[in-house]
Structure 1
Amino acid sequence: MVFWHIFLVIFLWIIFYNFYWKRRNLPPGPIPWPFVGSIPLLFWEKPGTGAEIFLRWRKKYGPIYCYWIGEIPIVTVNDYDAMIESFVKNPDVFTGKFTIPKMDKFFRGGTYGIVFTEGELWKEQRRFALQVFRNLGMGRNVIEEKILDEVSGMIECLTTDSQYDVCDLPWRFEVCVGSIINSLLFGYRFEGEKLKEFKFLKKLLSRHMRSIADPYTMMLVQDVDLLKHIFQKTYKKYEENRNHFFGFFNQQIEEHEKEIILDSIDEPTDYVEAFLRIMHENEKKGIKETNY
């Protein structure tokens, strides 16, 4: 009898907590399931139609609604005017970033980067990145010339492809855009043997994006240290993606460290070189407390 009383109290508390308590100060939205939130609702959508559920929620709950990934509330602004009012007219209110510290530590060793940081670290990294990209030609004719060079190369390839029955137009565009980005970050474009590298990165990124949308990954991010023992296959896949990504990044950094002259007076030719130089300058000056 006592057991059933305890069970009833726990059951009623779970119902009260999920139906009311944890949602009381948040926008309306679908009622979350205990522990898994709205993940089952997302999981049951037909492949390729995932966006439709957000449109249904917008119609039912309004332009601002809340759904749950496990115990994490996700407030969604699903209206153009509301976005302008929130993020353009009141940007300072929304400069904070949502992060999952344990997942950040697992995937990138901590909360770093312009996208996921805030405060002084974000300001300094953003200011540095904008300055480097301006020096590399962003906002000036220099970057336009680089883009036009890539487009010219793409057109030449398409002209050659037109002689055959099949022309992979998306692939040519992907290589063109990827080369522009890679030249800014690492100083070289994808051509010749480097095309194999691009294919590998594209496949890796596609696989990683699919794994992020996986319901098991959504559960894993709740507490990666604890749940990795339950979702072992998902954890292993995520870990493999991380190792491949950082293997590529570390290789680029090591090659730059071998090839560049850190004390050179010439302008850096890519983002990694600029970053390594400022790290070197801080080290020479004995600056230990730094965001680089």
Structure 2
Amino acid sequence: MFSIFLSIVIGLAFTWWYKNYTQPKGFPNGPTLALPFIGHGYKLGSNIVESYHKFRGKYGDIFGLFLGPSRVVVLNDFDSIQESGFHDDFLDRPSFLPGMKGTLSDGGEPGVIFSKGKQWSEQRRFALRTLRDFGFGKQKMEEVIDEQVNQLCSVLESKHGQPMSVFGVFNTSVVNALWTITTGQGVSANDPKIQRITQLMNEFDESSASPWILVALLFPTIESILSKMGLWHLQFKTAMLEIRKICKRPILEHEETFDPNNLRDFIDAHIQKQREPDSGISFQGNDGKLNLQIVTEDLFGAGSVTVSMTLTWAMLFLANRPDIQTKIKKELKEITGGNRIPTNSERQNMPFTEATIHEIQRLANIVPNSVPREASKDTHFKGYFIPKGTQIVPNIGEVLMDPKYFSNPQKFNPSRFIDENGRFVPSPYVIPFGLGKRRCLGETLARVELFKFFTGIMDHFTIERPNKELLNEDRSPFSSNRPNPFKVCFVTRS
């Protein structure tokens, strides 16, 4: 009797496993034997980027696997990433993100980064148009950023060329610029609110690199139970919730002082849109208010950490390459006379500087894996069958370091983007902001900020190594987007 019962249990267990943890016919090749609940997690090392690189070498440019209970397809070449970015069946965000949505989006799908469908298209279209009208690419925005660059340079000058860590140095200035552009409120870099947001963004970035984040996102119920029992604490949740409270204050102030005849900034424009009868479903009632708050948070998330970390890598790369700094300074002097920050329109006359920033973005590889998307229905892609609900992960880092697109990709070489006539020729394969309809919302602002902060620092300082020994350019073993700790000297130009 027991043997019959055991056989039934084993049979049911096998049937359940086969249904939930085997791939359908035509699915991309990948690791074998997915285990219940953890999938192929046991085959991933501590660094998921390196694991994906090894899987690509074994299974090809497109491979499939299970992360926990989720079926995943990883795209590792430019063509597939580009095509998927414009594929209408791959525009949704994964349903596996309830844990993150519950924290970042109040349990729903508002905003831009994590929303989908009509709500996503309405909010993204509005945000891009409005931010362009209120600053993106305009002189007003440049003036805001220039002020923050000058404040940052004053802080760096006060260190008198002494060795210092650059981790977190740029965050306050970048966040302050974003705050001013988004809310219309100009504040000092010493403002407690800006200091606190900066600290929280640092905490969010550091904690989000933890391998436990993947567990929390794949198994939100387990994470919630352990958290309530005091056995688990995800710092990024606490950080994000406090950022939310801070971002809510200027929205409430704008609602109290709103004047439809005097739209001051992005927040005012969104409030006006909410009050239009035919504005669209995502602007109506409480949904409209929640979308405004989450879109504001999305803008901070899309710009602050990315720009700050890219600048951190820039200081590391340039400290090891004084010859590159010399060329940039020469170009700056020719354009500005060496006494001001160049305008965004002048960057077209600074080919080597542009090429250097381009190469920094490529080699820094700040976001190796884009935020995953999800197949909204069964579909065929590149000869493979992709079932509904499959996560689509664009592995941008593989493109940035692919010898098929870049000769000697491990080498820092801005000249690879300079043609025989001395002109800057951007590579279509340098895609730090992603590709397609889900391309980064804050790309335009991030590009301007990066150019302004980079050239402002180069104009004021020479970046030197403390003891003349080459700095370690390896990535931190605890994070896929950070270098190992290092110090440099900001030496004021004579």
1:11 Cα deviation after fit: 5.3
Q: 1:116 to 1:202 in 2, by over 3 A?
A: closer
Q: 1:199 to 1:220 in 2, by over 3 A?
A: closer
Instruction: Give distance in 2, aligned partners of 1:50 and 1:234.
Output: 28
1:33 Cα deviation after fit: 1.5
Contact 2:141 2:181 in 1 (8 A): no
Contact 1:101 1:111 in 2 (8 A): no
Give the SS at the match of 2:137.
Answer: coil
1:99 alignment partner, one of 89, 95, 99: 95
Q: Deviations over 1:86-117 (max 9, x none)?
A: 32xx4434323323374356322211111122
2:179 alignment partner, one of 175, 178, 182: 182
Q: Does 1:67 align with 2:68?
A: no
- Structure with the higher helix share, 1 or 2: 1
1:134 Cα deviation after fit: 1.0
Instruction: Give distance in 2, aligned partners of 1:70 and 1:8.
Output: 21
Instruction: Give distance in 1, aligned partners of 2:173 and 2:130.
Output: 22
Instruction: Give distance in 2, aligned partners of 1:261 and 1:251.
Output: 18
Gaps of 5+ in 2: 289-494
1:242 aligned residue: 237
Instruction: Give distance in 2, aligned partners of 1:101 and 1:51.
Output: 20
2:4 aligned residue: 2
Gaps of 5+ in 1: none
Instruction: Give distance in 2, aligned partners of 1:73 and 1:208.
Output: 25
Instruction: Give distance in 2, aligned partners of 1:18 and 1:242.
Output: 30
TM-score after normalising by structure 1 = 0.78
1:185 Cα deviation after fit: 2.7
Q: 1:66 to 1:189 in 2, by over 3 A?
A: farther
Q: How many residues align structurally?
A: 276
Contact 2:111 2:120 in 1 (8 A): yes
Instruction: Give distance in 2, aligned partners of 1:188 and 1:52.
Output: 42
Q: 1:207 to 1:168 in 2, by over 3 A?
A: closer
Instruction: Give distance in 2, aligned partners of 1:291 and 1:4.
Output: 52
1:1-292 correspondence to structure 2 within 5 Å: 1-10=3-12, 12-13=14-15, 16-17=18-19, 20=22, 22-31=23-32, 32-42=34-44, 45-46=45-46, 49-87=47-85, 90-100=86-96, 102-103=98-99, 106-107=102-103, 108-109=105-106, 110-161=108-159, 163=160, 165-186=162-183, 187-189=185-187, 191-194=189-192, 196-211=195-210, 213-214=211-212, 217-225=213-221, 228-229=224-225, 236-238=232-234, 241-258=236-253, 261-269=257-265, 271-280=266-275, 292=288
Q: Which amino acid aligns with 2:125?
A: R
Q: 1:146 to 1:115 in 2, by over 3 A?
A: same
Larger relative contact order (Cα-Cα within 8 Å, sequence gap ≥ 6): 2
Q: Deviations over 1:210-230 (max 9, x none)?
A: 34x31xx43443453466335
Q: Which amino acid aligns with 2:30?
A: G
TM-score after normalising by structure 2 = 0.49
Q: Which amino acid aligns with 1:38?
A: H
